[in-house]
Amino acid sequence: MSKFIPTFILSLVLLISSVFSESQAQSWTSLDSYNGDSRHHPITFSDDRYGFVMAGNNSFGEYLDDVHRYDSQTNTWEQLADFPGGPRGFSYAVSDEQFAYVGFGSYGSEFPTDWWRYEFANNEWTALANFPSGGRNHPALILADDKIYMGLGSNSMGNLGDWWQYDITTDSWTEKAEFENGNRHHPFYFGIDGIAYVGFGHGNTINGNINVYNDFYKYDASNDSWITLNEFSGEGRVAGTQFSLNGKGYILSGDGDNHGPLDSGEFWEYTPETDSWTSLESHPGGARWALGSFVINCDVYLTSGLNRSTEMYFNDLMKYQTDLECGCNDSTAVNYNPDADINDGSCTYCESNLLTLVISAEDASEGLAWNIVAIGDDYPSATGGAQSTNICLEYNCYVFEMYDNSNDGWNGNNYEIIDNLGNIIASGTHQIGATNVDTIEIGEMECYVESYRCNGLQACIDPMDGSGEYSSLSECENNCIIPTQIDNFSNAFTISPNPSTGLINIRFDNETNQTKLSVFNTLGKLVYKQESLFKGTNTIDLSSESEGIYFIKISSNNNTITKKISINR
């Protein structure tokens, strides 16, 4: 995700769906201010976690060099070491996930040509190749892939119209085709899909009249030429902020065509396919001149600037929360989310075996759930729901289980588990009332599903071949009769006849509450179950069972009694 944020102008390229419309507008939220002077023309930039505000001019006209870092995860500010390039205003920056590039602007009557790179990971500044021509205030500055485009602006010679390309890989500057549509400063601009767009801004005064543009252009890097686009339908404007999102450009706030404040912090969206503009919801609090902004993942942040109607300077921070979904949108990552609009840097990658779980759940509700548990482990190695996903598993034997977590009766949902060579290593279909269990063999090994059964002494064992009647040890222990229970007689009930041919009468002399009855054979297998018994005589039918010894287990109010019976014919 490429980001571009000059001093008060933001140009960031993100993956985003078009959500900025008046009917879908999200609210702005006020956050904590940074602990520094209020200012106009701050330098602002960001990565996937931190936003930066630095330099600019305070209300006394002083040039600043302080650096403030905002942590979006903790909503806190931290002041870092001062900018090594020294105090300056009217300067700008562009940034991607690794580096920010900072330069231009002025300090008093000086227009520095130094060019700096900031590394987010190490909090380090590096001096790069100086700009080979004249320095300037508030030019256009756009990051496009491994190139940065810079031009226009103003210095002691007046407004400028030159255009330059900085090559990040070679640390070198090259002059390109001049912008022939009127020299100007404080333009609006952004990059969309590697193309630079520039327009608006303050041109030379004509016959004593202020000349603020409402035209718009794009730069064709392949032909080193400029293409004229449709004029903006609103009034001309200058000195606002802008950014790019999901193939569209956005401009926000600034001054109008008389170089006075707009009636509100106007918000407009540009669609390159139709070369058209759409009006969106204004930001709160009135228009601002020379504000700053940055984008972190799914959220847009606005800061600083000057309200020229009230002469109020700001050091605040406001967040505009879009309805985007942030996550990992890299299909080769373990935590790939196909619905993620913006990659938030959370991708993790598999160092062992990357599998793909494909679920075809046409009639499934949100209740579809699954677990993958390594045989012998207590906790799942992976879990999920109705969406297909990637799974990372080490060499081992696993059990895949899919079930209806909401018990709403859907069925017929298919699943496949595919390895990185395209081989289907497990598959099945979920049916009503069933739990699908499949064994996954990762590596060269023979796997079986963990299971348990009661042995001849009524103890639970794992036969180690998947042939047990119970899928867990706890289930086996709940159903397996142990010798101490067999000898535990009680006068609370009587059983007759015993021996029996199959029909057995169980009589209770006392009131019962939540009483349940279970009958097991000598292997601990449940052969009969009744959820509710009543006072008096209850008759159960075991005539379909073979001759032998059985155990009747009765549970009531956390008390359990067991009695042995015989069936003879």
Domain map (residue ranges) of the chain: 13-326, 350-442, 481-567
Give dist(CA 417, CA 83) in Å, integer: 53
What is the arithmetic mean of pLDDT over 243-260? 89
Q: What is the pLDDT of residues 350-367, one digit of tens each?
A: 888 899 998 886 655 567
Contact 128, 171 (CB under 8 A): yes
C-alpha count within 13 angstroms, C-beta hemisphere, residue 308: 20
Give dist(CA 133, CA 264) in Å, integer: 37
Q: What is the pLDDT of residues 367-379, one digit of tens each?
A: 778 889 887 788 8
Q: Which structure tokens are listed for 289?
A: 């001149």
Q: Which CATH architecture has domain 13-326?
A: 6 Propeller (2.120)
Given a cut of 60, whether residue 551 has pLDDT beyond it is yes
Strands (E), 202-247: 202-203, 216-220, 225-228, 241-245
DSSP 8-state code for residue 222: T
Torsion of CA 178, 179, 184, 185, to 10 degrees: -80
Given a cut of 60, whether residue 24 has pLDDT beyond it is no
Report pLDDT for 7.
Answer: 34
Element at 438 (helix H, strand E): strand 436-442
Lowest mean pLDDT among 78-87, 216-225, 493-502: 493-502
Given a cut of 80, whether residue 11 has pLDDT beyond it is no
Given a cut of 90, whether residue 473 has pLDDT beyond it is no
Given a cut of 70, whether residue 303 has pLDDT beyond it is yes
Q: What is the pLDDT of residues 404-415, one digit of tens each?
A: 776 665 566 788
Report pLDDT for 313.
Answer: 98
Contact 392, 334 (CB under 8 A): yes
Q: What does each C-alpha distance from 34 to 5, 104, 303, 319, 323 come to in angstroms?
A: 18, 24, 9, 14, 26
Q: Is the peptide bond before 499 cis (omega within 30 degrees of 0)?
A: yes
Strand partners, 336: 328
Average pLDDT of the chain is 85
Give dist(CA 448, CA 441) in Å, integer: 9
Q: Please give the residue that has the higher pLDDT: either 42 or 421.
A: 42
Strand partners, 101: 94, 117
CATH number of 481-567: 2.60.40.3080
Contact 43, 54 (CB under 8 A): yes
Given a cut of 80, whether residue 295 has pLDDT beyond it is yes
Q: Are strands 43-46 and 50-57 parallel, antiparallel or unpaired?
A: antiparallel
